[in-house]
Structure 1
Amino acid sequence: MTELTNIYGLRAIIEAIESGENIDKIFLQRGLKGDLFKRLEQLSQNNNINLSYVPQQKLDRLSKRNHQGAIAYIAPIAFVDIDDLITNALNTDRPPLFLLLDQLSDVRNFGAIIRTAECTGVNGIIIQKKGGAPINADTIKTSAGAIFKIPICKVDHIKDAIYHLQSADIQVVAATEKASKDIYDLDLKSATAIVMGSEGKGINPSVLKIVDHHGKLPILGEIASLNVSVACGAILYETVRQRKQ
C-alpha cells in the first residue's frame, strides 16, 4: 500500500503548495493569526485546496507531532480531469456508471463507498474540491486498496459535474429519501450517474433541482435512513442486477 504523507506546520505547508505538491486537504487551528496564516489561507484559496478550521484538540488527535496548528494531507493519487473521465467511460463496451458524492464527510464511509464502487464496475467517482472528506490513511485502509484502482475526479461544484454528464447523454439519479419512486422503479441500464449526499444534510437542494431522476430505498423498519455507504452499496448492486438481466 502507498505510504500516505502528511505535512505539519504553516511554513512547511506553504512551501509544499508552492512546490506543486498535490495537497488534498488542510486542517488549520481555529483562531490562528499572523502573516504566515494569512499567506496559507490565500494560497489555499488560489489553488482550490479544501481548508477546514478546527479546534486544537482535533489536530492533536490527527497527529502526535508538533503540528504548530496546521496539518496538510498530500493526496496519494492523481485526480482525473472530468472530460477525460467521461470520454474514457464512453469508449468502453458497456454503459458508463459514475458516482457523485455531495460533500461526504466521514473518511470511513468514503473508503467503503470506493471499495463497493470498484467491485460494481463504477467508471469513476466525482467529488467536490471543498467540503468533503480528505483522502487519508483511514480512507485508503477502508477502501482495501480500491482507491488505487478507480479514477477519482475533483470538481469545483457537484452541479458542474452534473451538467457535464447530462451534456454527454448520461442520466443523473439522486438517491434521496424524499423521492416518490423507489430506486427499483428506475431504469438504470443506460448510462447513469448516481448522486449520494452527505451523512448529515443529504444532497444539496440546488443539486436535487437539476438531476434527471430521484430514487429512494424503501425503509421497512423504524429507523428513518440507512448509513450512506450501505445505501450506496444497495443502489450500485441494483444497477448491477438490472444490467445483468
Structure 2
Amino acid sequence: MQNPDTTTIFGIRAVIEAIQNEKSIDKVFIQKGLSGHLFQELQQQLSSSDYNISYVPVEKLNRMVKGNHQGVVAKISPVEFQELESLVESTLNKEKAAFFLLLDQVDDVRNFGAIIRTAECCGVDGIIIQKKGGAPVTADTVKTSAGAVFNVPLCKVDHIKDAVYYMQASGIKVVAATEKTEDLLYTKDLSQPLALVMGNEGKGITPSVLKSVDEKAKLPLQGTIGSLNVSVACGAFLYEVVRQRL
C-alpha cells in the first residue's frame, strides 16, 4: 500500500512489486525478528542489489505509517536517478565547462534540499550522492528544494571516491571544500571543468575521499565559530564558481 506521502510504501508484497518494477528505492525499514515465507521472498529480492536496509523496532514502523505495514516500510525516491557515465559524457559534449557537485554523506534532508535548490540556480550539471549514508530524496527534499530536485540530474554511486576517480579520468578537476587546508577558495581557478565535493555536516569529507581529490579549498571565517552550515558553505562555493565563469 501507499501513504499520502507518495514516497512511502508499506507491506511486504508492495515492496516486492516496487523492486520488481525497478522503482528507485532509497531505504527499506524492516521489523527486527521478522520471518515467514513472504518475507523470505522479499529478502531474495533485496539481495539482487545493494539496497539501504535498516532493521528497526515495530514501534518505529507504527510511527512511520498508519496501516498494516506487515513489518516492512520503504522509501521511494520521487525522482529518477541517472547513470553517472552517461551524464558525464553528455555534459562534456556541451560548450560550457562541466560543473558537478559531489555530496559525501550529507545526511540532513533539509540541507540536501537547500543545496539542490542553490545548485539549480548556479547551473550545476548534476549532483552525485552515495547509495548509503546520505539523505534520501523525500517529499521534504522536494519541498525544501522548491521543486529544483526535478531540474537537476541526480546520480547514485556505491562510493563517492568512485565518482572522484571517474571525474578525474574524464578530465574534470575535483576540488574538496574542507577546513583541512590553508588554501582559500578565492585563490582557485574554477573556470575549467569542475567537480566540487562537500562533506557530511559533522564529520566533513571522508578521509579516503579527501586524499583522492586534486585540490582543497576553504572559506575564510571571521568569527569565533569554526564552521558554516553545509548548505550555506556550499552556496558560497557554488557562487564563486558562477562569479569566475561570468
Mapped to 2, the partners of 1:190 and 1:53 lie a distance apart of 44
* CA gap 1:56/1:225 in 2 versus in 1, 3 angstroms: farther
AA partner of residue 63 (structure 1): V
The count of aligned residue pairs is 241
- 2:74 counterpart of 1:72: yes
Tell me what 1:192 maps to.
194
Native 8 Å contact 1:51 1:130 kept in 2: no
* CA gap 1:222/1:88 in 2 versus in 1, 3 angstroms: same
Native 8 Å contact 2:128 2:154 kept in 1: yes
Tell me what 1:107 maps to.
109
* CA gap 1:46/1:60 in 2 versus in 1, 3 angstroms: same
SS of the residue aligned with 2:180? Answer: coil
Tell me what 1:86 maps to.
88
Unaligned residue ranges in structure 2 (runs of 5+): none
Mapped to 2, the partners of 1:184 and 1:69 lie a distance apart of 52
User: Over aligned residue pairs, what C-alpha RMSD do you find?
Assistant: 1.9
Native 8 Å contact 1:111 1:141 kept in 2: yes
Unaligned residue ranges in structure 1 (runs of 5+): none
Greater shift in the superposed pair: 90-99 or 37-46: 37-46
1:35-58 per-position Cα deviation (integer Å, ceiling 9, x unaligned): 455554453342222223344454
Tell me what 1:179 maps to.
181
Mapped to 2, the partners of 1:79 and 1:47 lie a distance apart of 15
Match of 2:17 among 15, 18, 34: 15
- 4+ residue runs over 6 A deviation: none
- 2:225 counterpart of 1:223: yes
Mapped to 2, the partners of 1:58 and 1:202 lie a distance apart of 29
SS of the residue aligned with 1:223? Answer: coil
* Within-5 A mapping of 1:39-188: 39-188=41-190
* CA gap 1:40/1:202 in 2 versus in 1, 3 angstroms: farther
Give the deviation of 1:4 after TM superposition: 2.9
Tell me what 1:239 maps to.
241
* CA gap 1:129/1:45 in 2 versus in 1, 3 angstroms: farther
SS of the residue aligned with 1:49? Answer: coil
* CA gap 1:105/1:39 in 2 versus in 1, 3 angstroms: farther
AA partner of residue 231 (structure 2): S
Per the normalisation by structure 1, the TM-score is 0.91
Mapped to 2, the partners of 1:65 and 1:213 lie a distance apart of 51
SS of the residue aligned with 1:194? Answer: strand
Native 8 Å contact 2:7 2:139 kept in 1: no
1:191-214 per-position Cα deviation (integer Å, ceiling 9, x unaligned): 110011112221110101100011
* CA gap 1:174/1:41 in 2 versus in 1, 3 angstroms: farther
1:151-202 per-position Cα deviation (integer Å, ceiling 9, x unaligned): 0011111111111100111000111111221111111111110011112221
AA partner of residue 34 (structure 1): S
* CA gap 1:224/1:90 in 2 versus in 1, 3 angstroms: same
Percent identical: 59
Mapped to 1, the partners of 2:122 and 2:18 lie a distance apart of 36
SS of the residue aligned with 2:175? Answer: strand
* CA gap 1:227/1:65 in 2 versus in 1, 3 angstroms: farther
* CA gap 1:94/1:134 in 2 versus in 1, 3 angstroms: same
